[in-house]
A and B are shown apart, each in its own frame.
Chain A
Amino acid sequence: MSFLLMTVWVAFRVLSRNRMRSALTMLGIIIGVGAVIAMVSIGEGAKAAVQAQIASFGTNVIIILPGTTTVSGVRSGHGGAVTLTVADIEELRKIPAVTEVGWARRDTMQVVHENKNWFTTINGVSPGYLIIRNWSTASGDFFTQTEMDAAAKVALLGNTIIKNLFDPGEDPVGASIRIKNMPFRVVGALEAKGYDTRGTDQDDAVFIPFTTAERKVMGTKFQGSIGAGFLSVESPEQMPQVVEEIKRVLRQRHKLRPTQDDDFTVRNQVDIAKVQEGTSESMTLMLLAVASISLLVGGIGIMNILLVSVTERTREIGIRMAVGAKRRHILLQFLVEAVVLSAMGGLIGVGLGVAGAKAASNVAGWPTIISGDVLVIAFGFSALVGVFFGLYPANKASRLNPIEALRYE
């Protein structure tokens, strides 16, 4: 509609006459929208990073840790007791929703390759472990069942190990490394996984068959005792039910009386994810509150300036009415001015928000995700604020009596 277009054009002209005033009026909206977009982008980036970390551990994974022992009042911490065994975990495989089980025990030891050495975590793992962790090899292969059964001296290397023990470009597969002075043949190099949710480098690890670890590297106080058990479940919804079942089975196998505490701990990724989601949800709510408040304040600023403008331009309104402007023409004119102010503020805010987010990722190195939806919503809301807060002054202008308006000094 050409009338609307001309009204927009007139609004731009009127607002450009009072540049400083228009700019200051828009400032509230600019800051509100800009801050929200910058914060949402940073928040979304952080959330995605956390989710990627959680996913890197493998999805739908349940971890079972052995309980503690208390000797003369000294509690040993998780894994201190030998209450969890390979047989326990094998038994849990019978729970219907469980798709895979695995177990591991770990120790920190020095690994040597030729003239280089590295102190790292040696993990003795069952074949199921790497499947559950959703970990694949970059080159080479996992252990074979034969190697497991034979407690063969074979190893899989994490990416950090390869970087520290091998020259760049050197293929570790087939090479020989030494752990506790025993030669191990490298059968595979693992894909890089990055840091986990606690900030530990997951690639700084060497994996050897569980049997090898138990019999040749770490020794054992009790045949089959494990450092941790791992189970994967079909879907996250089944987690709570499976966790209950695990507790029931283990209590029964460990012959615990009802009054006794569990001698194991069950954790799962969903719990961790939930904590993270809870944080990001309250973060989102807070952002929403900040956004609403700043848009509210910005809107009130627009309303205020428009009321001043209506008073200043009372005579102009009278003139327009005298030459044939209908009430809705006057209403539209001031409404369009409000929307032009708020939408321009929104647009500049979007620009500044995007720039701020980009600066945060370039300068501070924070991961940011700028989603188009957020930009559109933020801009849309700022325009709506103009309509909402423009309505009152515009209505006031349109209700003026033309005779009185023409006489206004």
Chain B
Amino acid sequence: MSLIDCRDLVKTYRLGEMEVHALRGVSLKIDGGEFVAVMGASGSGKSTLMNVFGCLDVPTSGSYLLEGLDVSTLGENRLAEIRNSKIGFVFQNFNLIPRTTALENVQLPLFYRGIPAHEQKALALGALERVGLADRQRHHPAQLSGGQQQRVAIARALVTNPSIILADEPTGNLDSQASREIMDTLTHLNREGITIILVTHEADIAGYARRAIMMKDGVILSDRDAGGVGVAGVVPQEARA
């Protein structure tokens, strides 16, 4: 059973009089442990696909099985539960809650899971340790660098022990040094067995992935082996060269 198995995904938005066909029939299978880059120009439908994968959006038609569960038929509350337990988001603009400590930001998904506060703290601290920011737990986002903020966001995505991490342009707001750190972190997590789906329009970032999917105008243009460093043992910089 594939982790993600979607068939003929169609998503049509209505913008006033105009119909926007964001997805025009996407069929895709992604197995557990993969490191996939979804590429494409803006408007290619890659963000919509991520929103559907992340259960933030439901397709207009087509089926989406997440771990064998048909997600397209579920109600809002069940979708929220799936987002909470199976999916971790990493956004381009970090999306941390301002004026709230790193630890509390990481705790947030656990808060909605309703587990006791001391367990939340322990798990969140563990996640911060995994991204190397345990010593910054009391810092607010504004007191952290961009790269550090994004690592806090990754810790937040990790803390629930999800099946997939969906990273939408995770390095889009970062300089090259920080980008490298983030990609190293994601690569490392992938080696630990976490499935990572990465949306990017930068080829060198996509180069970290083992599989690259090109999208254009709401359909998949190509789906090939990227030969990225998700494969253990290869140093990222060399792989891209």
Contacts and interface: CB of A to CB of B under 8 A. Distances in A.
A243 interface: no
Contact of A325 (B80, B95, B160): B80
B35 interface: no
A329 interface: yes
Interface string B82-121: 0111000101000111110000000011011110110000
B235 interface: no
A178 interface: no
A326 B85 CA distance: 13
Contact of B112 (A315, A316, A325): A325
Contact of B84 (A324, A402, A406): A324
Contacts of B111: 3, 6
A214 to B, nearest CB: 89
Contacts of B51: 403
Interface residues of A, number: 20
Contact of A329 (B99, B112, B116, B156): B112
A268 B6 CA distance: 91
A358 B154 CA distance: 58
Interface string A390-409: 00000000000011001000
Interface string A301-326: 00000000000000110111111111
A25 to B, nearest CB: 19
Interface residues of B, number: 28
A2 interface: yes
B81 interface: yes
A329 B84 CA distance: 13
In this complex, the member of B54, B99, B112 whose beta carbon has the largest number of chain A beta carbons within 10 angstroms is B112
Given A318-B95, A319-B95, A324-B113, 6 more contacts: A17-B99, A322-B95, A323-B109, A324-B112, A327-B77, A327-B80
Interface of B: 51, 54, 56-57, 76-77, 80-81, 83-85, 89, 91, 95-99, 108-109, 111-114, 116-117, 156, 160
A-B pairs, top 6 by smallest CB distance, nearest first, are A324-B84, A323-B109, A326-B80, A324-B112, A324-B83, A319-B95
